[in-house]
Amino acid sequence: MSDRKKEGVAGRATLAEFKAFLAENGDIDYLDAIYVDMCGTVRGKRFPIEEAERIFTSGVQMPKSLYFFDVTGVNEDILGMGFSDGDPDAQSYPIAGSIVPVPWASMKQAQVLMTMMDDEGAPFALEPRVVLANVVAKLADIGLHAVAACEFEFYVLDRERDRKNLPQAPINPATGVRETANEVYGITELDGFMGLLKEIDEAAAEQGVPASGATAEFAPGQYEINLNHENDVLLAGDHAVMLRHLIGAITRKHNFVASFMAKPFANQTGNGLHVHCSILDEKDNNIFDDGSDEGSERLRHAIGGLQATLPDAMALFAPNLNSYRRFGPNLFVPVNRAWGYNNRSVAFRVPAGSPEGRRIEHRVSGADANPYLVLAAILAGIHYGIVNQIEPDEPAEGNACDVVDEDIPFFLPSALKRLRNSSVMREYLGSHYVEVYAETKMLEFDKFQRTISPLEYDWYL
């Protein structure tokens, strides 16, 4: 993806670009046209090389409903879209600069990221990437643009579950012993999985995804991989989606499972998606920097906006029932709207470093969230705070994650109701998108509730 800035992420990939890719990388057997749905899952259609050129000349017809599948990959006829309207197709086109090899594939494959148009030829408003693009445009209207980077925590798990059908930590290939220790930043813990981690690094490099190394995290088999800061937020979203996708694919290749579930173990730390974000003006000056240690007035306004919009946006940061199990006091997971300097216990952290690199680290989202929607909600909060000059409360010192904010909905149905009733989120994300998202996730929750869990048999049978 190294040429994407030159060609423009909103532009359409051409046949000439595809042929140039083949000239540089050699012939392929298949080309995957890929899409990212509401849940952040990569979906698509695989074309043999003999049919691949038509993707770039005439595009691909795909169902509109692809963008509002629930986590099980099902469209529940959301607001009459699906069974009721005949599940119509729409035209989609490849995005310029997004053609990359698929290094983990068993055959010679490439992939290209697709975007959809509506019946009038405009970007399809229910595509998560388009939702983000619309918020980016609001920033551009006031002469600003964002620089962003995502950090993913995830578990590497054994492919086999234990005797109770529960997930378990992997057996370390170097020691032959199952991982049990919590060795945050441990080097020894990395050694046994270096084959896996090295292949993730190599695949990311081949796909132009700027990943920057792995660290061991707070639980057996848990790791974090960071992405470099990107001056184009749409591209930052693409990188986040593709990194999560390739980590999953390569981990399967090594006979493990990568889990981005927010809370896979009740007694271990959860998986977060932390987002670092700064805002630049038209001269590329960081508006959060005024030369002081505290940062600018607009930094405080941005944080004020994030505090004000957090309850309304929780359903985007925590998109399913399990997501809310990650939140709890004294877990370095935000349970209120606190902010502060160089403090990992807050929701909105201003990291230490040079004033020129002043930024906000948004620490609320789980690793199971859709990166495009997370970025859209964060930028919406920042824009809202700057435009309305919202003052935050005083920065927290010490442990700020011991008291739960009762105004934040830490239960999915409550969060979806809050999102649905939010005039601010409707303004930024689009009223129709808010309705479709809330309806999809609520029906998903209802489907979950209709399943009888093993615990119910243990307790009530």
Contacting residues for 52 by C-beta, under 8 A, at least 6 apart: 18, 28, 30, 31
The DSSP code for 273 is E
Question: Does residue 7 have a pLDDT over 50?
Answer: no
Question: Does residue 163 have a pLDDT over 50?
Answer: yes
pLDDT of residue 10: 55
**Alpha-carbon distances, residue 59 vs 15, 91, 114, 356 (angstroms):** 11, 6, 9, 43
Residue ranges per structural domain of the chain: 4-124, 136-460
**Alpha-carbon distances, residue 92 vs 44, 54, 57, 152, 392 (angstroms):** 11, 12, 11, 29, 42
Cβ pair 82, 72 in contact under 8 A: no
Beta 109-116 vs 211-216: how paired, if at all?
Answer: unpaired
pLDDT digits (tens, 9 = 90+) for 99-137: 999 999 999 999 999 999 999 999 999 999 999 999 999
pLDDT digits (tens, 9 = 90+) for 56-98: 999 999 999 999 999 999 999 999 999 999 999 999 999 999 9
Question: Does residue 181 have a pLDDT over 70?
Answer: no
| Closest-CA residue to 262 (of 337, 154, 185) | 154
**Cα–Cα distance measured from residue 161 to residue 260, given in angstroms and rounded to the nearest whole number:** 17
pLDDT digits (tens, 9 = 90+) for 314-350: 999 999 999 999 999 988 899 999 999 999 999 999 9
What secondary structure, in 3-state letters, does 147-202 show? EEEEEEEEEEEECCCCCCCCCCCCECCCCCCECCCCCCCCCHHHHCCHHHHHHHHH
pLDDT of residue 4: 41
Contacting residues for 230 by C-beta, under 8 A, at least 6 apart: 147, 148, 149, 210, 236, 239
Share of the chain above pLDDT 90, in %: 85
pLDDT of residue 2: 37
| Closest-CA residue to 224 (of 208, 250, 200, 188) | 200
pLDDT digits (tens, 9 = 90+) for 46-59: 999 999 999 999 99
The alpha-helical segments, DSSP class H, found in 292-405 are 297-317, 371-388
Please name the amino acid found at residue 96.
A
Residue of 258 and 219 predicted with greater confidence: 258
| Closest-CA residue to 396 (of 354, 309, 317, 336) | 336
| Average pLDDT for the chain | 93
Question: Does residue 6 have a pLDDT over 50?
Answer: no
Residue of 180 and 453 predicted with greater confidence: 453
Helix (H, G, I), strand (E, B) or coil at 285: coil
**Cα–Cα distance measured from residue 264 to residue 126, given in angstroms and rounded to the nearest whole number:** 29
Q: What share of the chain is helix, strand, coil (3-state, %, to 5)?
A: 35, 20, 45
Cβ pair 404, 5 in contact under 8 A: no
Helix (H, G, I), strand (E, B) or coil at 16: helix
Helix (H, G, I), strand (E, B) or coil at 427: helix
Assign residue 91 a region (left: φ > 0; alpha: ψ between -120 and 50; beta: otherwise): beta
For Cα atoms 77, 82, 84, give the angle at the middle one, nearest 5 degrees.
85
* Structure tokens given for 326: 């990650």
Residue of 220 and 297 predicted with greater confidence: 297
Taking every pair of C-alpha atoms in the chain, what is the biggest distance, in angstroms? Answer: 67
pLDDT of residue 188: 62
CATH number of 136-460: 3.30.590.10
The pTM (predicted TM-score) of the whole model is 0.95
pLDDT of residue 1: 35
**Cα–Cα distance measured from residue 368 to residue 363, given in angstroms and rounded to the nearest whole number:** 13
Contacting residues for 336 by C-beta, under 8 A, at least 6 apart: 347, 400, 401, 403, 404, 405, 408
**Cα–Cα distance measured from residue 134 to residue 154, given in angstroms and rounded to the nearest whole number:** 29
pLDDT of residue 321: 96
For Cα atoms 163, 168, 171, give the angle at the middle one, nearest 5 degrees.
110
Contacting residues for 410 by C-beta, under 8 A, at least 6 apart: 314, 318, 324, 327, 335, 404
Q: Does domain 4-124 fall into CATH 3.10.20.70?
A: yes
